[in-house]
Amino acid sequence: MHTAFLTLLSHYRRHPGQLAMLLLGLWVASALWSGVEAINASARDSYARAESLFTSGLDGLQRADGQPLTRDDFLRLRRAGVPVSPLLEGRLEAPDGTRLTVIGIDPLTLPGDSAFASTDNQADNRATLANFVTPPWQTRLSPDTLGAFGLDLRNATGATPPLADGQRLPALSLSPALPPDTLVMDIAAAAELLGSGDTLTRLVAKAGQLDEAPPGLALTRADTQLSPGQLTESFHLNLTAMAMLALVVGLFIVQAALGLALEQRLALLRTLRALGVSGWALVGLLALELLVLGVLGALAGIASGAWLAQRLLPDVAATLGSLYGAGVSSDLRLPWHYWLGGLGVTLGGLLLAGSGVLWRAARLSVLGLGQAQTWRTGFHRQLRLMALGGGVAALAALALWGWLARQPAGEGLMAGFGMVGFVLLASALWLPPLLAALLAWLSARLRRYALAHWALADLQLQLPRLSLAMMALLVALSANLGVSSMVGGFRLTFLDWLDQRLVADLYLQPPVERTEEIHAWLTERPEVAELLPTRRREATLVATGVTTGAAAESPPEETSLDRPVVLYGITPGVRLMPSWPLLDTLEGRDAAWAGLAAGEVFINEQLAIAEGLAPGATVTLAVPGQRETRRVLAIYPDYGNPRGEVLMATPRLAKTFHAPPRSVGIVLAEGVSSEALGRALNARFAQGSDALQDQRSVKRLATTIFERTFTITRALTALTLMVAALALLASLLAQARERRRHLAPLWALGVPRRRLLWVSLAQLGGLALVTGLLAVPLGIAITAGLVGVINVAAFGWRLPLHIFPGEVALTVTTAVGVALLAALLPALRLWRASPRALLAEETPA
């Protein structure tokens, strides 16, 4: 058995290229897959830490009027027997620009069974508490936050690194369970760092301990806060789908290599059978070979995947941070099951790819020795099966589409991915029959042109080998086109939308208590043409109603809800109204704006899709002690916002819901420079420079965030395309010997080598061109699926379908380029081979 195994493996010594191709396929497939899984696992670890942070499991209390709470509020409540704990939250900047969340706690009143209690089991020092609550205090942070201070594990504990503003942090103490970029310290230390004086961010209480909010306060239940895990689920599903695509493309290579290695060893297998090795033993040996190769490839792949993830993670973390406000560590943290999972998936995929080979080996007939291959019949049967399978996949895609069309918008993320997957599968399966038919048709037309005829006939012969690589290329190309069109379209839409939304020249974020003063001052300034104050407040959407029937007076059909939403106030002035984008209105833009000024509301697309609301519906909004029903007059796009939002006119929001003021947009008079006003403002109110931002910097920031959002998506599609190119190259290399055998007689018959080279390139280029052309409609279909179904479900907004001729041309060019590149190496080897050697090469048995 040992001998038989070594004999089987000896094949790879003769054909190291096949072994390399096999391992390459396994390696890239598992590298991309495990890279993405590593990112997901690392992000989930961050979410888990964020969710287990004490602040997330606690009910929160804030003042209903939006003013900050103070220590007196805390004392008053405690003295009244209300078990609340003060919490101070703020942002500080590390020297490297990282934004850190500082959480100041009072460990003495913080509900004891909250997760902070498990922060650290190591310290067994009775002095720990005293050290925590007394000067010089301590800063607890996770090791993956150390990078922001340029520290590493060895010198971290006890260090007192400076912040960007020169203040020094209390001595560091490591707590691996804390979320990244989060500093936890005693509230006294935090108050000093943040300069927050008597004020608090909020009071927290054990979940469910308070039956109702104390008078004047608003209660936010822990379970109504969306966890980062929930918010980002769709994003990670996106990544997983991409990784799956890469895995499948990689397995295409593996399947091709395995098929080749088996075909070339058929004689060997028969010989072994004839020498007394049983059929099952052979299958077992082949399976063992698969396992050995699989473990090798998977281990290399997983290691590279971890490396890849480490490279991509900072962008992913930035994306998740900006898109969902979810803190994700940019350091990789991999649980043990990640490594096992990666191995499992790769081996599973390999088994799937190799099952065909094993099946064929199992059915191998000993008497088949020397029997001429009936590949032609076999291939035709295979083509028929592919066409049939493609048809089934297409039907499945159609069925899913039909189902999705009847779902409310925003549902069916999985079904959406399923549909796109089936479309890809159908196209991939249909590709070889299509190519075969095309070649047959063309070759019948070109019979007179000997070389062209030969080239086409020869391509038909190559097709069984090339079809898998071409399928991979088609899938990668169309995914690439689909994603880049989606991103490009999104980019256009997003930039437009930014232009429309950001109408003010300057944005000022004044301290709450000085808002009125600053507002009054600004109103007097001649440089200011218009002020656009905003307000914001958290509220709960408790009911929605749809007016039925023609009579608007009839009572609406109500649905009760408990959905946290943001109330946002804008000033519908002359600058803002004409440009603020609206997707849908009840009775036209003018009526909508008039209605908004009169107290009705607009809602963002996310909320409309999530709750199935259309203009004309009513929403009932509640804040503590207040409950108001308003009519929805319009729906507006709100890209990048994970939350539902209700828009009101600022004065109305202030009056009805007592929302506190937020930033003020300042529209400057004609020809006035923003610097002058900024200086005057600073001189008068001693504002920090970061309180005032000009429109350009806001746009730049938004655009940066946008670009980072899709970095990973782009990187993954590009990598998938590279994998497909590798698949093609590997297929070509694997059949290089055979190609030479086919080309040599032609050369002997008097076709110059240079022409043979060109013909070879033309063959593959032509095949790739057809594939690339087919990828265009497929890519557009995928774009449609992405913007119409998947984005709506994943992000809550719909995008217009944009098609970029440049991207299309690039796709086709890429296809041909990739194919030519892949064909070049084997062709050059042919070019340089001694022709005599070509003729002398033995025909394999």
- Site residues for other proteins, window 95-114 (CB under 8 A)? 104, 106-110, 112
Q: Which is nearer to other proteins, 367 or 749 (CB)?
A: 749
244 DSSP 8-state letter: H
CB of 746 to other proteins, least distance (A): 7
Q: According to CB under 8 A, which one of 753, 758, 762, 769 is a site residue for other proteins? A: 753
DSSP SS3 for 638? coil
**Is the separation of the CB atoms in 159 and 145 below 8 Å?**
no
Q: Does residue number 373 form part of the binding site for other proteins (CB under 8 A)?
A: yes
Q: Which of residues 301-360 bind other proteins (CB under 8 A)?
A: none
CB of 213 to other proteins, least distance (A): 17
CB of 575 to other proteins, least distance (A): 42
Q: Which of residues 518-547 bind other proteins (CB under 8 A)?
A: none
Q: Which is nearer to other proteins, 550 or 840 (CB)?
A: 840
Q: Which is nearer to other proteins, 152 or 198 (CB)?
A: 198
Q: Which of residues 500-519 bind other proteins (CB under 8 A)?
A: none
Q: Which is nearer to other proteins, 151 or 188 (CB)?
A: 188
| Nearest of 243, 733, 732 to residue 467 by alpha carbon | 732
Q: According to CB under 8 A, which one of 19, 29, 187, 469 is a site residue for other proteins? A: 187
Q: Which is nearer to other proteins, 219 or 459 (CB)?
A: 459
Q: Which is nearer to other proteins, 110 or 473 (CB)?
A: 110
Q: Which residues contact 455 (CB under 8 A, 6 or more apart)?
A: 759, 762, 763
Q: Which is nearer to other proteins, 74 or 235 (CB)?
A: 74
Q: Which residues contact 674 (CB under 8 A, 6 or more apart)?
A: 505, 506, 668, 694
**Is the separation of the CB atoms in 193 and 167 below 8 Å?**
yes
Tokens 């449609």 sit on residue: 784
Amino acid letter, 169:
L
Interface map 111-150 toward other proteins (x if CB under 8 A): -x---xxxxxxxxxxxxxxx-xxxx---------------
Q: Does residue number 746 form part of the binding site for other proteins (CB under 8 A)?
A: yes
Q: Which residues contact 121 (CB under 8 A, 6 or more apart)?
A: none
Q: Which of residues 407-426 bind other proteins (CB under 8 A)?
A: none
Q: Does residue number 59 form part of the binding site for other proteins (CB under 8 A)?
A: no
Amino acid letter, 11:
H
Q: According to CB under 8 A, which one of 165, 555, 749, 832 is a site residue for other proteins? A: 749
DSSP SS3 for 19? helix
Interface map 586-625 toward other proteins (x if CB under 8 A): ----------------------------------------
Q: Which is nearer to other proteins, 37 or 458 (CB)?
A: 458
Q: Does residue number 667 form part of the binding site for other proteins (CB under 8 A)?
A: no
Q: Which of residues 65-94 bind other proteins (CB under 8 A)?
A: 71, 74-75, 78-81, 83, 86
Amino acid letter, 20:
A
Q: Which is nearer to other proteins, 451 or 498 (CB)?
A: 451
Amino acid letter, 515:
T
Cross-strand pairs, 648 = 569
Stretch that binds other proteins, among 157-165, 308-316, 441-449, 792-800 (CB under 8 A): 441-449
Interface map 447-486 toward other proteins (x if CB under 8 A): xxxxx-xx--xxxxx-------------------------
**Is the separation of the CB atoms in 503 and 576 below 8 Å?**
yes
CB of 203 to other proteins, least distance (A): 12
Tally Cβ neighbours within 10 Å of residue 27: 26
Q: Which is nearer to other proteins, 187 or 222 (CB)?
A: 187
Question: What does the alpha-carbon distance between residue 151 and residue 406 come to, in Å, rounded to a whole number?
Answer: 55
CB of 212 to other proteins, least distance (A): 15
Q: Are strands 557-570 and 506-508 parallel, antiparallel or unpaired?
A: unpaired
Q: Which is nearer to other proteins, 192 or 558 (CB)?
A: 192
Q: Does residue number 742 form part of the binding site for other proteins (CB under 8 A)?
A: yes
CB of 440 to other proteins, least distance (A): 11
Q: Are strands 58-63 and 202-206 parallel, antiparallel or unpaired?
A: antiparallel
| Nearest of 494, 483, 492, 488 to residue 715 by alpha carbon | 483
In a 10 Å sphere around its CB, with 0-12 CB exposed, 13-18 middle and 19+ buried, how is residue 469 labelled? Answer: buried
CA dihedral defined by 84, 85, 89, 95, rounded to 10 degrees?
A: -170
Q: Are strands 202-206 and 85-93 parallel, antiparallel or unpaired?
A: antiparallel
Q: Which is nearer to other proteins, 83 or 314 (CB)?
A: 83
Q: Which is nearer to other proteins, 194 or 778 (CB)?
A: 194
Structure tokens at 653: 């929001």
Q: Which is nearer to other proteins, 65 or 120 (CB)?
A: 120
CB of 738 to other proteins, least distance (A): 10
67 DSSP 8-state letter: P
Q: According to CB under 8 A, which one of 91, 376, 381, 700 is a site residue for other proteins? A: 376
CB of 224 to other proteins, least distance (A): 23
Q: Which is nearer to other proteins, 377 or 560 (CB)?
A: 377
Q: Which of residues 188-217 bind other proteins (CB under 8 A)?
A: 188, 191-192, 197-198, 209
What's the half-sphere exposure (Cβ side, CA atoms, 13 Å) at 521?
16
Q: Does residue number 744 form part of the binding site for other proteins (CB under 8 A)?
A: yes
Q: Which of residues 626-665 bind other proteins (CB under 8 A)?
A: none
Structure tokens at 32: 């991309």
Stretch that binds other proteins, among 182-190, 289-297, 378-386, 467-475 (CB under 8 A): 182-190
Phi, psi for residue 674 in degrees, rounded to 5 = -70, -30
CB of 356 to other proteins, least distance (A): 23
Phi, psi for residue 528 in degrees, rounded to 5 = -90, 120
In residues, how long is the chain? 845
CB of 727 to other proteins, least distance (A): 23
Q: Which residues contact 340 (CB under 8 A, 6 or more apart)?
A: none
Amino acid letter, 449:
Y
Angle at 33 between CA 31 and CA 36, to 5 degrees: 100
CB of 629 to other proteins, least distance (A): 36
Cross-strand pairs, 199 = 70
Q: According to CB under 8 A, which one of 745, 777, 800, 806 is a site residue for other proteins? A: 745
Q: Does residue number 186 form part of the binding site for other proteins (CB under 8 A)?
A: yes
CB of 562 to other proteins, least distance (A): 25
Structure tokens at 414: 């999985």
Q: Which is nearer to other proteins, 402 or 752 (CB)?
A: 752
Between helices 450-501 and 805-832, what is the axis angle to 10°?
140
Helix (H) or strand (E) holding 808: helix 805-832
Q: According to CB under 8 A, which one of 752, 800, 806, 844 is a site residue for other proteins? A: 752
User: Helix H segments across 580-694?
Assistant: 589-597, 605-611, 650-657, 674-685
In a 10 Å sphere around its CB, with 0-12 CB exposed, 13-18 middle and 19+ buried, how is residue 201 labelled? Answer: buried
CB of 71 to other proteins, least distance (A): 6
Q: Which is nearer to other proteins, 209 or 365 (CB)?
A: 209
Q: Which is nearer to other proteins, 462 or 687 (CB)?
A: 462
CB of 128 to other proteins, least distance (A): 4
* Total residues binding other proteins (CB under 8 A): 74
Q: According to CB under 8 A, which one of 395, 748, 821, 828 is a site residue for other proteins? A: 748
Q: What is the DSSP string of 338-366?
A: HHHHHHHHHHHHHHHHHHHHHHHHHT--G
CB of 735 to other proteins, least distance (A): 13
**Is the separation of the CB atoms in 146 and 95 below 8 Å?**
no
Structure tokens at 383: 């083509």
